[in-house]
Amino acid sequence: MTGKVKIGIVGSRFQADCIATSVKAMPEEAEVVAVASPSPGNAETFARRHGIAAFHSDYREMLRDPAIELVSITAPNRLHAQITIDAARAGKHVVCEKPLCITLEEADAMIDACTKAGVLLLYAEELFFAPKYVKAKQMADEGAFGRVHLVKQSEKHSGPHSDWFWDVDQSGGGALMDLGCHGIAFCWWFLGKPKVKSVYAQLSTQVNSARTQGDDEAITVIEFETGAIGIVENSWNRPGGMDDSVEVFGDKGQTYADMLMGNALPTYSDVGFGYAVEKAGSTRGWTWPVFEEHWNYGFPQEMRHFARCVRGKEVPVSDGHTGRVVQEVLYAAYASAGLGRKIMLPFRPKGIKKPIDLWKNPKLAEAAL
């Protein structure tokens, strides 16, 4: 096939908006031709807002459209596996939002379904495309910092916008699952995708225990087989807008990359204005409004790369295997917090319903060692 890759989006809210806007920002390789979302009227409103021709209330109906080549899944975590498997069976390539799924068994089933169907399973980790972070990796790969022995990635904000994130049965876990999946993938990718040797995590629910069983503060230490260390810090308790940053240390140098505030306009306003940055509660007083927000994250570049992978022009830098590596580290991190000790990998407990159970019920983690 030639021409623009035709995309169908599943979901019509936060991340769906990001994907539709990002595809339009780099339109030469792909276009969104359909959207599916179950709440009455939502898919239609979304389609009109983004100039998309077709809309459906059931994603399975959208999968029957032979024109669609690639399905972008922006539905809640608990639905990622089933939608991926259904899309693969319908012969569609898949872009799955993070985290890949809830369980390791689901990750295996998703990879298996896509392999059998001969379609790509692309894992949407936009940090691999964030221009500032890509620059940091280019310098590291060039040797600018000597041997890199420590990489830190933090993602912190004031808490998710939709109720399902707070319900661990639907999300699988708290801030670690929601935000830590980015940092785990980032450290692994930045260091050249080495094997993970061990994981240690400190988790707690400091502020939101009335609202969630999930962790709202998380610190994860990942030891790689090369000896390098990754530190991932996540929070759902940081008002003032999204904070996404990276620090890289080697024996010959270091670099610091603050993706949003570091690319913002330090601004003071008595009266406020429309929008500063994701999850900023107010625009009065001092704020850090970011420009080209999607571009700074790397979303348009990510979707362009995925479309080029569908056309065989590029090889995926993030796929089902990436998502599965992250999933195993998430399991190990929750188990570590439950047992209060380091977990050695491989760590592949079977029959766990969701990663956070390994923290809440340490016996499950103990049994898996």
Ligand X SMILES: NC(=O)c1ccc[n+]([C@@H]2O[C@H](COP(=O)([O-])OP(=O)(O)OC[C@H]3O[C@@H](n4cnc5c(N)ncnc54)[C@H](O)[C@@H]3O)[C@@H](O)[C@H]2O)c1
Q: Which residues bind ligand X (CB under 6 A)?
A: 10-16, 36-39, 42, 59, 74-77, 79, 97-98, 124, 126, 162
The CB-of-282 to ligand X minimum distance in angstroms stands at 21
Residue 20 Cβ vs ligand X, minimum distance, rounded to whole Å: 11
Q: How far is the CB of 112 from ligand X (least distance, A)?
A: 21
CB of 100 to ligand X, least distance (A): 9
Question: Which of residues 129 and 288 has its CB atom nearest to ligand X in the complex?
Answer: 129
Query: Count of CB atoms within 10 A of residue 152's CB?
Result: 18
Instruction: Work out the angle between the directed axes of helices 80-89 and 104-117 (0-180°, nearest 10).
Output: 10
Residue (325 or 343) nearer to ligand X, CB: 325
Q: Which residue has the tokens 């999968």?
A: 63
Beta carbons within 8 Å of 236's beta carbon, 6+ residues apart: 156, 157, 158, 159, 160, 174, 175, 178, 179, 207, 208, 216, 217
Amino acid, single-letter form, for residue 31: E
Tokens, residue 266: 């330090």
Residues 6+ apart with CB under 8 A from 239: 158, 281
Nearer to ligand X among residue 74 and residue 103 (C-beta): 74
Whichever of 155 and 345 has its CB closer to ligand X, that residue is: 155
Amino acid found at 125? E
Judge whether 55 and 43 are in contact, CB under 8 Å. Answer: yes
Instruction: Output 75 or 280, the one with its CB closest to ligand X.
Output: 75
Q: Please identify, using beta-carbon distances, which residue of 6 and 294 lies nearer to ligand X.
A: 294
As measured in angstroms, the least distance from the Cβ of 218 to ligand X is: 15
Question: What does the CA dihedral 276, 280, 286, 288 come to, rounded to 10 degrees?
Answer: -50
CB of 265 to ligand X, least distance (A): 22
> How far, in Å, CA of 211 to CA of 73, rounded?
26
Q: Is 138 exposed, middle or buried (0-12, 13-18, 19+ CB in 10 A)?
A: exposed
Question: Is the preceding peptide bond at 99 cis, omega within 30 degrees of 0?
Answer: yes
Closer to ligand X at the Cβ: 12 or 103?
12
> Least separation, in Å, of the C-beta of 99 and ligand X?
7
**Are 335 and 365 in contact, with CB atoms under 8 Å apart?**
yes
State in angstroms the smallest separation of the CB of 204 from ligand X. Answer: 21
CA distance 310 to 320: 15
Closer to ligand X by Cβ: residue 173 or 349: 173
Strands 93-97 and 121-124: parallel
The kind and range of the H/E element at 116 are helix 104-117
